[in-house]
Amino acid sequence: MKLLSTLVFLTVFTFSAFSQQWKFIGGYSLGIPQKDMHKNIPPAHSLQAGIVYQLPGQWKQLSVGAETGIGLYASKRVDQTFQFENNTSSIVPVNYNSNVFNADLQARLDLVDNKKFVIPYIGLKGGLYNFFSTIRIEDPNDPGGCTALQHKNILSDNTFYWSAGAGLQVNTSFFAKRKFTRNVLIDISANMIHGGSISYINTKHLIDEQTMNDPKAQPLNVQFINASTQQIHEHTVAQVFTSPLRMIELRAGVVVLLRRD
């Protein structure tokens, strides 16, 4: 009896595992900032990848899974003027790199039978969004110049978010003269991203930040050491803004079917 129960369990487990339709999803994402974010940062360019599975039986039009992405929304080099205590100044090149990272759980509901060549769907996601920035200060190549004391992430903040949208999946065999089932689909979608408050540096209009005076911004200071006198100085290298996470996400990618019913 025990052997029979074990065989039944293994049979059911194997059938269930292979009856599920596993899918790899991946592609390019353009995150367009909205409202206050639109004033301060440019669009974010990201690569996304994840895995979902299609539920069996009467739930076969529903897929659930997880996804992660990494991207860039600014990479700039700006000459800044640093003032020293002896009334001297030096022009120092500052290199900015600002990135985004996201991870989420998601669900997709196909609006037609998933055996069709064109499949419209709606989707819902929820997860974590992270904004982080790094700077690299170049050597000004003069005796009274500065060497950066900080060579790392100068700002990092995250928030939970949710996203809702709609899209289309098109089977690649739709474009072939001879119609047959393929395991690759083209995936195009648009989503609204809403999240809590998040802090980031103003990279859309980077100039010599020490001349800026925006009451909504907070100065971001970095310490330097004078190469000749060994005196430590603090300089403002950017302005930090805080606002709710608001984006419109446009995506283009592929869905690769890993298992088929």
* CATH code, 196: 2.40.160.20
User: Does 184 have pLDDT greater than 70?
Assistant: yes
For the chain, what percent of residues have pLDDT higher than 90?
Answer: 48
User: Does 103 have pLDDT greater than 90?
Assistant: yes
Tell me the residue type at 102: N
Sequence-ordered strand ranges (E) for 111-217: 118-137, 146-148, 153-171, 184-201
DSSP state of 60: T
The model's confidence at residue 139, banded by pLDDT at 50, 70 and 90, is low
> Which of these ranges, 86-100, 115-129, 174-188, has the smallest mean pLDDT?
174-188
Greatest alpha-carbon span in the chain: 92
Q: Which residue range is the domain that position 46 belongs to?
A: 19-257
Positive or negative torsion for Cα 76, 77, 79, 84: positive
Residue 4: what pLDDT? 39
In-domain check, residue 13: no
What total number of domains does the chain contain?
Answer: 1
> Which of these ranges, 5-14, 92-101, 131-140, 236-245, has the smallest mean pLDDT?
5-14
Asked if 220 and 154 touch (Cβ cutoff 8 Å), the reply is yes
Burial class (CB in 10 A: 0-12, 13-18, 19+), 14: exposed
Tell whether pTM > 0.85. Answer: no
In-domain check, residue 124: yes
Q: How far is CA 48 from CA 25, 116, 119, 159, in A?
A: 8, 25, 21, 18
Q: pLDDT digits over 212-259, tens only?
A: 667 778 888 777 666 666 667 777 788 899 999 999 999 999 999 886
Structure tokens at 95: 């290199």
Give the integer Cα–Cα distance in Å for 37 and 43: 10
Q: How far is CA 208 from CA 94, 125, 152, 194, in A?
A: 10, 39, 21, 32
Structure tokens at 109: 């509901």
User: Does 2 have pLDDT greater than 90?
Assistant: no
In-domain check, residue 146: yes
Tell me the residue type at 173: S
User: Does 66 have pLDDT greater than 70?
Assistant: yes
Residue 11: what pLDDT? 39
The mean pLDDT of the chain is 81
The arithmetic mean of pLDDT across residues 20-49, rounded, is 93
Q: How far is CA 108 from CA 54, 61, 115, in A?
A: 9, 8, 15
Asked if 55 and 63 touch (Cβ cutoff 8 Å), the reply is yes
In-domain check, residue 226: yes
In-domain check, residue 116: yes
Residue 18: what pLDDT? 46
In-domain check, residue 171: yes
Residue 62: what pLDDT? 95
In-domain check, residue 86: yes
